[in-house]
Structure 1
Amino acid sequence: MIFNVLTIFPDMFEGILRNSILKRAIERDLIKVNLVNIRDYSKDRHKKTDDYPYGGGYGMVMMVQPIYDAINAVKSSKDMPVFYMGPKGKKFDQKKAVEISRYDEIILLCGHYEGIDERAYSVIDEEISMGDFIMTGGEIAAMAVIDSVSRLIHGVLPQDESFMDESFYNGLLEYPQYTRPENFNGMEVPKVLLSGNHAEIAKWRRQKSLELTLNLRPDLLDKKYLTKQDIDYLMQIGYSDI
């Protein structure tokens, strides 16, 4: 999968792309990240990409021309969606990550300053928000999207099951995890995890996921993701709103 990132601060991405899972995915040609400097498309002699807003107001606004030309240059004759990292979009979640992972190539536009000229939306397909908080720019949001989506690309993780068990993938929070030692300061690993009984381990993990979701994020409990056994167990532990 190819991520084309349009930004005025391409150097911000160097750290995340040179470490851990993303680095290995790039080396194995499972993903590719093209960093495109929007300034390269500015027609201003000083390579400006922002200006004061018409009508007055605080801060600067990213100009339409550099954004428009940068997007069209990357797209050329290829058809790919353009996602703008901005505050007015729908909140990014695992469902959106799965949806994006099905594309072969996308464009991620990083906003900055007080936003973008409204006319730039003419070449944008969708706006994505990280949540109800303010960020300086869209770079960190784009990094989050790249990281989240890349984990869903076949071969990026050692086993596809790795992401299938993670929080939010199946509509529930992930079950607790343990590793060595078996006993740390009197805190022991649950015996079932040491039993070797894979059916009982799977049952325990599912029940713990249900408990955690009920206690921490009950808003995630959706009947379409629950089995009859799940519902029976939730009823046993006191949840009746199903």
Structure 2
Amino acid sequence: MNENISGIDYQEVIEYALDPLIIHSNHKIIYVNHAAEHFFRGKREDIIGASPLDIFQETSKAAIRKRIQSAYERPAELIEETIFRLDGTTVNVELYCHPLLLGDKKVIQTYVRDITVKKESETRQKEIIKQINELSTTLVPLLEGIAVLPLVGSIDEERANQLLMAVPVKVQTQNVNCLIIDFSGIYTLNSIVTEHLFKINSVMSLLGVQCILTGLRPELSRSAVQLGINLDSTRTMATVKNALHFLGITSSK
């Protein structure tokens, strides 16, 4: 393989590309660059001649076969897959392939990009969000019958609905008769989420639980008014500390 394009040595261009590149035709690999050798942890002679399907898990092979076939006509969309290296280890990658004319022969060129770091970062972020969400449904007991619900982080419609379902159950199991709902840890809310959160207050009232809302920012109060939520019968205070003073809970210091 040594095709020239307008005086440019195409093979030299892809040989020194930083991303692993594979060229294959009729489900047989005919070329890999140096980055692909390093990435797949094998020698070039061990890779050339093999099927590109060999690197995929069995559950993915049927879809990949169709994807390769369609790529002879038009570039395929970028996808994420878990593939095998020659030493048996797996790695998360992004794959992009497109048709290429090599002489008078149509082949497929596939780009492989390691996204291990990206996936690990996403996993860590999901774990952080999970921890924040778990904290957001924790009722912190203060004295007998009194607890605080600290709303923390970003809350979407799904999360708000989970709160609406979980908090009444926890209030009953923990025998809470006064609940302080603290909004100070929330910075942005849309109207749907705001409505869900204020419904918690209504449900508490039906259960005979007194609610005190703290940390309400002006924009949250305005959203409540625009949604027609009546807070006249609900006690609101600036901070949890103010609420504790109102309930007669003072610091020993």
For CA contacts below 8 A with separation 6 or more, give which structure has more relative contact order.
1
TM-score by length of 2: 0.23
Could you say which structure has the higher strand fraction?
2
Larger radius of gyration: 2
Given the two structures, how large is their TM-score scaled by the length of structure 1? 0.24
